[in-house]
Structure 1
Amino acid sequence: MKTGKIPEAVLKRSVLKQCQNTHPAVLQGAGSGSDCALILTAEKSAVSCSVHPAVLDTMKKVRFAIEHAVNNLACAGSEPEAVLLTVLLPENTEEAFLKEVMREAEAVCKELGIQIAGGHTEVNPAVMLPLLTVTALGAAPSGATTSKAIAPRATPSGEAASGAATSGVHGAGAMDSYLRAAGAQPGMDVLIAGTVAREGTALLAWAHEEELKKRFPADFVEQAESFGSSISILQAARVAMQCGAAALHDASQGGIFGALWELCEGAGCGLTADLRKIPIRQETIEICEYFGYNPYCLLSGGALLVVAPDGRRVEMELARHGITAAVIGKLTDSNDRILLNGEERRFLDRPAQDEIWKERGV
């Protein structure tokens, strides 16, 4: 298989179809476009959890791993509280490196207002590069704990929306405050909070700083590097929820095109979106053009997809909080996922390998 996220067909065939066992405490389980699980506790409260891995070829990826895991909780409408960290190290790793990893992780968690609650550290001869796995834990919305069985909403083809998998004991009707892609409906607005491909742009700028400074002004490259200062979508998610968002989905591998596809899969809807309305920085456009990469298929941590009945209201409220946002289209009741670019009309492709994997050492 190719590097990067496995193809959707492989995910469904070789991963999700193998997850047959159910438990009544699992309100929301594995599914395409579903990055967060919801588990009912004995006290009838609910805990959200999500996992994100990273290869630590640069210390900056400690931040990215933690923020990605926490972003997944925020997209479910949950408040993050703690993380568990698993750190696997190659032989001959210096203790100073491990200490630096933990200091960076602690600094990021302090910014986010969460705690490192535990984890596991190990030196293993099978590990070639340091690996970090972040498990984020949070409190699910209070409306997510009522016991009530329902069936997932069907797609236009008659199949259940793939992001709507439940245990069959608790379902979407039990989770009015728990945001899932299946909560999105045809006719709702789709908007993007933040700008796309920021994460990938920062990684490219860091890896090729000297080369890029020969082509672009130094302050241009430094601005691109600053995109990696944070990819958190916590504030944007909170604002969107307050404005009545029906579903949230954070962009990551596969870029904004991959995120749009996953959103539609989870919602069981089609899409019509205007490519020209997608918010993107000039630094991203020019750096991707320089390397020959498609910015819409590049790592997009820090960009949030929002589905809402009144997208303009969400857009204006996000702007009031200093967050770039734009309504880019609407969900439809067909299977078609259409991108408009002036007079051009094309279909959104299934997610392909992220452009970042064309790089080596990034």
Structure 2
Amino acid sequence: MPGKVSPDDLLAHVFGRTGEADESVLQGPAYGEDAAAIAVPEGTLVVSSDPISLAASEVGILGVHIACNDVATSGADPRWLTVVLMLPEPDEAILESITRDLDEAAADLGATIVGGHTEYVDALERPLLSLTAMGVGEFVPTGGATPGDRVLLTKAAGIEGTAILAADFGDELGIDSEVLERAEASLSELSVVPDARVLREYATAMHDPTEGGVVAGLYELAHASGVRLEVDREVIPIREETRQLCDAAGVDPLRIFGSGALLATVPEDDVDAALADLEEAGLEAAEIGVVLEGEPALRIGDEAIDEPVEDALYPLWADADAEE
């Protein structure tokens, strides 16, 4: 089954194998952290890499936003990108479509694609895209949440997953065309760069809920910070088109790809100011939980989450591949 490598395997085989130690590395590989931070003369260079392989539609747009979001949620403005693009076969139309989307999405964020690699790999069944994003700023970790902080979520749960469901499975789910149109329009809301620019002035920690959705993002934030999170499921914003698509597909909207939303922990005294600034910037947000002392743990309503979360869309792709 596709998905992230387990925290235990990362600890055993990845995090300790980073070559020569370098004192300029302020944040290296760690569970739940969105990006690395490196001290440079201009400040702190924030770097993040992310692949995207399963979404078939508008993969270039998704790829740029996923990579740049991780830099933004770590406190920097994304400025530079490298792109590795592998295609299953020579197809000029697909190459044209993906690179056009890469160009437009990067330009929209004010970022520049500075290099990369492109090739054809016949072992692939669909395009594989991997991007590295970089920017300079003041680093904000995932692991900075402090007991007493409040947990904020911008926009809503499952924005990216909603767009993917509509684009990849919409024809099979029997959903009204107007709902599908709104869901597909979610693709234009995947950037959390504006959200992060507001919240980095207040946040002790920020995290981008991607694979596994809001639940996975909260779990990773709790474990990175060494804290206990108590979250009220009933106040987590979920849009109507997300609910309808998830109900039709039989998946939990809190467990589908969540790019487009930003999780942040903010000191209690700063919550009102942070929410007001987000509203002034035209961004919806909600206070959804609290940070408590204790062993790393996550509780959402009556549900205790005690292991990493698999994204609910993976089985749908597996079933679609099996039927082909």
TM-score if structure 2 supplies the norm length?
0.91
Structure 2 gaps, min length 5: none
Cross-structure match for 1:61? 59
2:184 to 225, 230, 233: 225
Question: Which amino acid letter does the alignment assign opposite residue 104 of structure 2?
Answer: A
Question: Which amino acid letter does the alignment assign opposite residue 49 of structure 1?
Answer: V
CA distance, structure 2, for counterparts of residue 233 and residue 350 of structure 1: 26
CA distance, structure 1, for counterparts of residue 303 and residue 316 of structure 2: 28
CA distance, structure 2, for counterparts of residue 59 and residue 182 of structure 1: 33
| Contact kept? 1:194, 1:324, Cα under 8 Å | yes
| Contact kept? 1:275, 1:339, Cα under 8 Å | no
| Contact kept? 2:33, 2:143, Cα under 8 Å | no
1:328 aligns with 2:299: no
CA distance, structure 2, for counterparts of residue 51 and residue 283 of structure 1: 30
Question: Which amino acid letter does the alignment assign opposite residue 53 of structure 1?
Answer: P
CA distance, structure 1, for counterparts of residue 209 and residue 55 of structure 2: 22
| Contact kept? 1:27, 1:38, Cα under 8 Å | yes
Cross-structure match for 1:86? 84
Structure 1 gaps, min length 5: 142-177
- For residues 90-169 of structure 1, the aligned pairs below 5 Å read 90-91=88-89, 93-141=90-138
| Contact kept? 1:258, 1:350, Cα under 8 Å | no
CA distance, structure 1, for counterparts of residue 294 and residue 209 of structure 2: 23
Q: Shift of the alpha carbon at 1:87?
A: 1.2
| Contact kept? 1:190, 1:311, Cα under 8 Å | no
Cross-structure match for 1:39? 38
| Root mean square deviation, CA, Å | 1.9
1:89-135 per-position Cα deviation (integer Å, ceiling 9, x unaligned): 224x1233223221111111111111111111122344343211111
Q: Secondary structure at the match of 2:282?
A: coil
Cross-structure match for 2:2? 3
| Contact kept? 2:34, 2:142, Cα under 8 Å | no
The percentage of counterpart residues that share the same residue type is 32
CA distance, structure 1, for counterparts of residue 14 and residue 234 of structure 2: 36
Question: Which amino acid letter does the alignment assign opposite residue 94 of structure 1?
Answer: D
Q: How many residues align?
A: 317
Of structures 1 and 2, the larger Rg is shown by 1
Q: Could you say if the C-alpha distance between residues 128 and 226 of structure 1 is closer, same or farther in structure 2, counting changes exceeding 3 Å? A: same
Question: Which amino acid letter does the alignment assign opposite residue 47 of structure 1?
Answer: L
Q: Shift of the alpha carbon at 1:333?
A: 0.7
1:249 to 207, 211, 222: 207
CA distance, structure 1, for counterparts of residue 121 and residue 179 of structure 2: 41
Q: Secondary structure at the match of 1:323?
A: coil
Cross-structure match for 2:256? 298
Question: Which amino acid letter does the alignment assign opposite residue 235 of structure 1?
Answer: P
